[in-house]
Structure 1
Amino acid sequence: MWTHVLGFTALPHLGGFAGALITRREVKTWYQTLTKPSWRPPNAAFPVVWTGLYTGMGYGSYLVWKELGGFNQDAVVPLGLYGLQLALNWAWTPIFFGAHRIKLALIEVMLLTGTVGATMLSWYPISRPATMLMVPYLLWLGLATTLNYCIWRDNPEPKRD
């Protein structure tokens, strides 16, 4: 049983580690050239916050999986939405930091935030503790979306062919 807990909890970190490789390189170069709002968190806060958020969402997904008795017909919507939001989460970093597509990243993070909300709504009747583990994530996405918007607004993208 502990292997399931560990696997579900570790899964979100896989995309986080991959994204960190892209982010680490770009934060020192391209990201430094951008105009950013004064209220943004320090760069050092992001890996700490994301470690906690990934751990919480991963453990929450385990609670939902366990409560539903595994991957079955009842799990399609709640765990499918979870998987979709996880894929959207992992996609944001390559879009923003890798491709430097600030506007596309903004659209993507808005879709992500909506999908996280839908995931939470689908989890609530199954496991309230799992749902509550997603609350900090949703709040952080609100901050991240606002930050992405301000960066997009203050840094016009070059015309693309």
Structure 2
Amino acid sequence: MSPQSVRRRSKDEPTPGSAAAAATTGDGGKNLRARKMAMAKRGLRSLSVALATPLCLTLLTTYLFGATRGYAAVSRPFWRPPVWAFHLASLSSACLMGLSAWLVWADGGFRRQPAALPLYLTELALSLAWGPVVLGAGAMRLGLAVCMALFAALLGCSQLFRRVNPIAGDLVKPCLAWVCFLAVCNYKMLM
């Protein structure tokens, strides 16, 4: 090999065996890039479904059963938030739980922890039931029972989700705090 045939490679030019070289030259890079883009689109689609489903169900429940008959029947002390704040916090809680469930699903946690999916669906059903029971019908005792069951379901979700993804388990904590506040409000409305 003669010195005239040796060419210097600049620092910006990728090495022949690197992934950057495969991404910029040849058909293998295009396939890899297309596969990564398709996987990202599927992930984004599944995330939007995981967030939109509980959000839409909560909005529908609020719209259909969000009457304030039971809530308005009790005189409202200064520490109890207005009804719109209850609905907004319920929507936020539903989004957090949807994101947490998506993180568990993305890590394959519903296969590794088979009890996680039924527990999440139970939590979703109970969180949808609280508003119509307490704010709509004014059944404070039943609302307190729903709060206790919801707290137990959230606690179970937190523990199972934490085993799969610690961030998913941490996202359940604000929901636990919200349910504790709901239980205190329910209890005070009974008095």
Judge same fold: TM > 0.5, yes or no: yes
Residue 16 of structure 1 aligns to a residue whose secondary structure is helix
Report matched runs for 1:10-21 at 5 Å.
Answer: 10-21=52-63
Residue 143 of structure 2 aligns to a residue whose secondary structure is helix
Partner of 2:146: 108
Report the CA distance shift for 1:105/1:47 in structure 2 as closer, same or farther (over 3 A).
closer
Per-residue deviation at 1:108?
1.1
Number of equivalent positions: 148
Partner of 2:103: 63
Q: Give 1 or 2 for the bigger CA radius of gyration.
A: 2
Partner of 2:31: none
* Structure 1 gaps, min length 5: 154-161
State which drifts further: 142-151 or 89-98.
89-98
Q: CA RMSD in A?
A: 1.8
Per-residue deviation at 1:131?
1.0
Counterpart among 124, 133, 145 of residue 95 in structure 1 = 133
Q: Is the 8 A contact 2:107 2:165 kept in 1?
A: yes
Q: Deviations over 1:31-54 (max 9, x none)?
A: 222134431123332233233222
Partner of 1:118: 156
Q: TM-score, normalised by structure 1?
A: 0.83
Residue 76 of structure 1 aligns to a residue whose secondary structure is coil
For 2:101, the aligned partner's letter is S
For 2:85, the aligned partner's letter is A
Partner of 1:157: none
Larger relative contact order, structure 1 or 2 (CA cutoff 8 Å, min sep 6): 1
Q: TM-score, normalised by structure 2?
A: 0.71
